[in-house]
Amino acid sequence: MRTHTVHERSGLSLRVDSEKDQRILIVDSDDQFREGLHNFLLAAGYDDVDATKSFTAALARIRKSAYDVVVSDLDSRFSDGLAFAKRVVKGNPEIKLILMIKVEDQENWTEQSELTGIQFLLKATFPRNLLYLLQY
């Protein structure tokens, strides 16, 4: 088991214990958020992290490579996030899918989470909660 400590700007430190290396794909149309999350995960000790800005590019990457985790924004200018999520889950049930939602959309997505079993994470709670979800 590897242990990594990540320091946030707030001065808090987080310990991340990972039992295996995970291949992670980040999907987000916001360049700054996507790059920031990519760098955060690298700093947390995840060595194999890819990122893309569109659902179409993400699906192509998933077809070509095996990923353990896909972290995706649902609020995208490019396509319907829930349709993307359902395609990932249907075609790759072994992939852990974590979808990021805005706080104001929480009520709408809670029902979808119960119906689909897909994990949703509020963007406002990043990055601490993402590290927790990646452990399980």
Predicted TM-score (pTM) of this structure:
0.77
The CATH number that applies at residue 128 is: 3.40.50.2300
Residue 55 falls inside a structural domain: yes
Residue 82 falls inside a structural domain: yes
Residue 44: partners with Cβ closer than 8 Å, 6 or more residues away: 4, 6, 14, 16, 127, 131
Residue 67 falls inside a structural domain: yes
Domain that holds residue 48: 21-135
| Cα angle 64-69-74, degrees, rounded to a multiple of 5 | 95
* Domains identified in the chain, total number: 1
- The H helix count followed by the E strand count for the chain is 5, 7
Compute and round to an integer the Cα radius of gyration of the chain. Answer: 14
Predicted confidence at residue 112, as pLDDT, reads 67
Residue 117 falls inside a structural domain: yes
Token pair, residue 72, equals 């995706």
17: phi then psi, degrees, rounded to nearest 5: -105, 120
Residue 26 falls inside a structural domain: yes
Tens digit of pLDDT at every position of the chain (136 positions): 344 434 444 444 444 444 448 999 999 988 998 999 999 999 989 989 999 999 999 999 999 999 999 999 876 544 577 788 889 988 998 999 888 887 777 777 767 666 666 777 887 776 778 888 887 7
Reported as a single tens digit per residue, the pLDDT across 78-100 is 457 778 888 998 899 899 988 88
d(CA 20, CA 42): 15
Residue 111 falls inside a structural domain: yes
